[in-house]
Structure 1
C-alpha cells in the first residue's frame, strides 16, 4: 500500500487494487483526504457524497473478493462532469433551474464508465449549461486553478481538470464543443482529448445528428487517457453516427515514436487569431522536442477561414434549439452571455444553417487534403494562459480587446468544426509558472495514432 498514492497513475492504481496491494476502500480514503485538503479552496468537486462513496468502495472490494471478473477501471474513485446525468446523483448542469435535479437513469458515457468498475464520489463543477470556458455558476460558485488559485481553471470541464491536477481523482470525463476538454486541460496542466465525431457516442441527445459537442476523456498522462478512452469509445445501437471500432483498440500500452513524423506547426493559423506571447513561445518551443525525436517540423497551417462563421452559427443554432424554450420560460435565470447566445440563434435562417453545414463539409475536405502532406497539426490549445478567476473571460490579448466571450477560444473552436480529433498536451509554463498546453490534431478517426504521437512527445518532453 505504501507504493500507491493519489499522485500515482490510474493504471498503477487499478493494478494495485487488482493485486490486493491496496483495497478500493483504502484508495478512496486517500482521495477523500486529498479532497478535504484541497477542494475547499479550489471548488472542483461538487455534490460529494462520502457515505455513498464508501458503500461503493466496499461493494468493489466484495466484488473482487468473490472472484468475479472486474472492469478496467475497477476500484478507481470517479466524479462525473455535472452536465452528465448520473442515476440517483444530483446533476445541476450548473443552473439554478436544476439545483435539485436528480436523474433516474445514466447517460451512455456514464453507463460505460460505471460498468468499468469506478467508485462514484460526486460530480465536477461546470459553467452554466457548460457554456463558456471559465467554470463558475450561481449554484456552486467558481472553480479555481490548482497551480494558482487566483486564476481560472478553464471550462467547461474546469472542475474535472482541476480535480485531476490536484490529485482529487485519477481520471475524469468531460465534453467539448468549443474547447471544453482541451482548454481546462491546458490551464491545469493535464491531458484532454476531443475525439473524432462518433468516437465516443452520447445518448440520450435531443438531436443525434448535431455534431459540435462530443464527450471524451481527461487524465494526468497520455497512457491513462488511453485507458479511459478505451472504456468510453465504441459503437452503440442507440447512436446512429457512432464509429464502429471497439473501445479496446485504444487501450494502452502506447508505443509511438516521433521519428519521421511530419509535423505542421503554427502559433496562430496564419493570423486567424491573436495569441499571447507567452503561449506562442511554448508552442514554438515544442518544435525542438519534436525535431529532437526525429520529426520533420514545418511552419504550415490549413486554411480555416470559414471556420469562425461555421462554429458561431452552429453553436447559436444548437443552443437555441436546446435551451430556447427554457429561456422563454425563465428569462431571468440565465447568465447574460448565455442568454444572448441563445437569442442569437433565434435570428438564424434555414439558409444560415445550410451555409454553415456546407462550410463544414468544405472544412473536412480541407483537412483531408492537408493531412496528405502532414501527419499532425500543432497549434495552441488556448490563446491565453490562465486568466484571473474573477473575470468571465479575458478582456484583451497582447493589448488587443476581445469583443465577445468567445474570441479568445478560436484556437480551439476552429478545430471543432473540422471534425478531427484534437489532444491538449502539457508543453511548458509561462514565465510566472502557469501551465500551457499544445494542441495536437490528427486526421478524422486516427485517435490511436494521435495517442501514440502524444505519448512519444510526453516521454521526450
Structure 2
C-alpha cells in the first residue's frame, strides 16, 4: 500500500486514478499523522479538518478517478501570513488571534482552482522576521528531523510540515531566506521565484508592506521533490491586475547545461566545513551532468548582505517597531533590535536612499558576471540547523556574527533573483526570469541526491 504521507504529487494522483485511494483517504491519513505528532512538532497552528474532508468528498463525487487539475487531491500547508477563508491570519501576534479571513488570497485561490486540498495554516515567527519560528501566539516550532534543532524561519511551519509528512507541499514566502533557510534546515526542497513571478493580492485588506517587500519578497513552494516544486510553481505563477509589480506567466526555456559559478566566500560568509563539503558535492554533481562549474569568477559581494540589512533594518526599526513593537514576543523584538539595529541607516532619508543606490550598483556588477555564468551555486546558511535558542537574547555582537553565518542568503533577495534550496543546505540561483534554468539544474542535482523521505516520528 502506498505510504501516502511520504508520496509525491504524481504518486498520490496515480493512486487516485487507479482507485487505490480516494481523495478523502489521502486527506484522512495526513490528518491522522498530524493528530498523532503535531503536538510535538507544532508545524500546523490551525487546521480545517472538517472542511477539507468535505472538499475531498466533493471532489471524489464530482471526478471519481479522473484527475481534474494539476494539484487535484494533494494536501497543502499554507503559511499563516497568507489568507485562507475561515482561518485566522495573525502574523504570529496575539493581538490578531481573532482576525478570521473572509476570503482566500490570490495564491490560495489558484491552488484551490488546481484541485489542492488546504489542510490549514502553518506556524510562523512574529512578523515573519526571523530565521527561527518562535511566536508569541503559537510558541516554538521544532525540526522534525531533530527536535532539539530549529526548523528555521520564517516559513518554518511549512518546512516542518513537509518534512514530517503532514503535507505534500507547503506555501511560504521569502524576504530574506524565509523559504530557503527552513527548507535546508529541515532537509526538503524550497523554491523562491524571482520578483514579480507570483502575484500577491489579498482582498481582505489593503497592502501595508514597504517597497522592500515588493522588490525582495516572493511566494513559493516547499516540497520533497523538484517535480512537486515545478508543478506547484506553474500553478501559482502569473500576473494579476491588483499586483502591478507582477509579470505574466512563462520563463526563459531551460538551455543545455552551461556555465555555473560557485559562490563561497564572496559575500564574506563564515561557513562550517560540512557546508563547504556539501557545496563541493553539488559542484561535482553538476559537473557530472555536463555543466561547467568554476570557482572565483564572481565579483566581491561582501557589501550585499549589509545593504540588504540596511534597507530591511531601517524599515523595521524606523517604521514597524515604533508601531507594533510592543505586540511582538520579547525574543523576536530583541532579535530585530540587536541584529538589524546594527545596520539600519537612522532617520536621515538620504542614507536610506543611498543604500538603494548601492544595491543597484552591486546588482549591475553581479548581472554582468552572470552573463557568462547564468547559474550560481552557493550555501544557504553557513551551518546545519542550529539549536532552538540560537537567536534568543544573544546580544548585538553575537547577532552580527549570526548574520555573518547567513551572508549567502540575502543577496538573492537584494537582487530579486530566483533560488532553489536543496535538502543538503546548498542553493541554485539564476538570473531574473530564468526560473526554468534553475529548476532544470535542480532536477540534475536531484538525480544524484538521496530521495527526500519524511522524518521518523
Q: TM-score, normalised by structure 2?
A: 0.88
Give the 3-state SS of the residue equivalent to 2:216 in structure 1. Answer: coil
Structure 1, unpaired ranges of 5+: 427-435
CA deviation after TM superposition for structure 1 residue 241, in Å: 1.4
The equivalent position to 1:218 in structure 2, one of 216, 222, 236, is 222
CA deviation after TM superposition for structure 1 residue 44, in Å: 0.8
CA RMSD of aligned residues (A): 2.8
Give the 3-state SS of the residue equivalent to 2:239 in structure 1. Answer: coil
- Partner of residue 231, structure 1: 235
- Partner of residue 308, structure 2: 311
- Partner of residue 136, structure 1: 134
| 1:138-217 matches, cutoff 5 A | 138-204=136-202, 205-207=207-209, 209=211, 210-217=214-221
In structure 2, relative to structure 1, the CA distance for the partners of 1:227 and 1:321 (3 Å cut) is farther
- The answer as to 2:225 corresponding to 1:263 is no
Give the 3-state SS of the residue equivalent to 1:35 in structure 2. Answer: helix
- Partner of residue 432, structure 1: none
- In 2, the alpha carbon distance for the partners of 1:340 and 1:297 equals 38
- In 2, the alpha carbon distance for the partners of 1:281 and 1:394 equals 31
- In 2, the alpha carbon distance for the partners of 1:266 and 1:331 equals 35
The equivalent position to 1:286 in structure 2, one of 282, 289, 308, is 282
- Partner of residue 375, structure 1: 374
Q: TM-score, normalised by structure 1?
A: 0.87
In terms of mean alpha carbon deviation, does 301-310 or 160-169 score higher?
301-310
- In 2, the alpha carbon distance for the partners of 1:395 and 1:9 equals 40
In terms of mean alpha carbon deviation, does 157-166 or 43-52 score higher?
43-52
CA deviation after TM superposition for structure 1 residue 243, in Å: 1.6
CA deviation after TM superposition for structure 1 residue 325, in Å: 5.8
In structure 2, relative to structure 1, the CA distance for the partners of 1:153 and 1:328 (3 Å cut) is closer
Contact 1:182 1:381 in 2 (8 A): yes
- In 2, the alpha carbon distance for the partners of 1:262 and 1:346 equals 37
- The answer as to 2:442 corresponding to 1:443 is no
Contact 2:325 2:333 in 1 (8 A): no
- Partner of residue 122, structure 1: 120
Contact 1:4 1:12 in 2 (8 A): no
In structure 2, relative to structure 1, the CA distance for the partners of 1:404 and 1:275 (3 Å cut) is closer
CA deviation after TM superposition for structure 1 residue 292, in Å: 1.9
- Partner of residue 53, structure 2: 54
- Listed one character per residue, the Cα deviations across residues 272-298 of structure 1 (whole Å, up to 9, x for unaligned) are 121112111211222221222222221
- Listed one character per residue, the Cα deviations across residues 62-110 of structure 1 (whole Å, up to 9, x for unaligned) are 232498x833212222221011121211222111121222122222222
Contact 1:174 1:216 in 2 (8 A): yes
Contact 2:123 2:141 in 1 (8 A): yes
- In 2, the alpha carbon distance for the partners of 1:449 and 1:328 equals 41
- Partner of residue 77, structure 2: 79
- In 2, the alpha carbon distance for the partners of 1:226 and 1:66 equals 23
- Partner of residue 459, structure 1: 447
- The answer as to 2:413 corresponding to 1:425 is no
- In 2, the alpha carbon distance for the partners of 1:164 and 1:42 equals 12
- In 2, the alpha carbon distance for the partners of 1:120 and 1:260 equals 36
- Partner of residue 24, structure 1: 23
CA deviation after TM superposition for structure 1 residue 305, in Å: 3.1
- Partner of residue 44, structure 2: 45
- Partner of residue 455, structure 2: none
CA deviation after TM superposition for structure 1 residue 392, in Å: 2.5
- In 1, the alpha carbon distance for the partners of 2:438 and 2:169 equals 19
The equivalent position to 1:276 in structure 2, one of 257, 272, 276, is 272
- The answer as to 2:94 corresponding to 1:104 is no
- In 1, the alpha carbon distance for the partners of 2:54 and 2:315 equals 39
In structure 2, relative to structure 1, the CA distance for the partners of 1:331 and 1:423 (3 Å cut) is closer
CA deviation after TM superposition for structure 1 residue 214, in Å: 1.4
- Partner of residue 412, structure 1: 409
Give the 3-state SS of the residue equivalent to 1:6 in structure 2. Answer: helix
- Partner of residue 111, structure 2: 113
Structure 2, unpaired ranges of 5+: 450-457
Contact 1:382 1:409 in 2 (8 A): yes
- Partner of residue 294, structure 2: 298
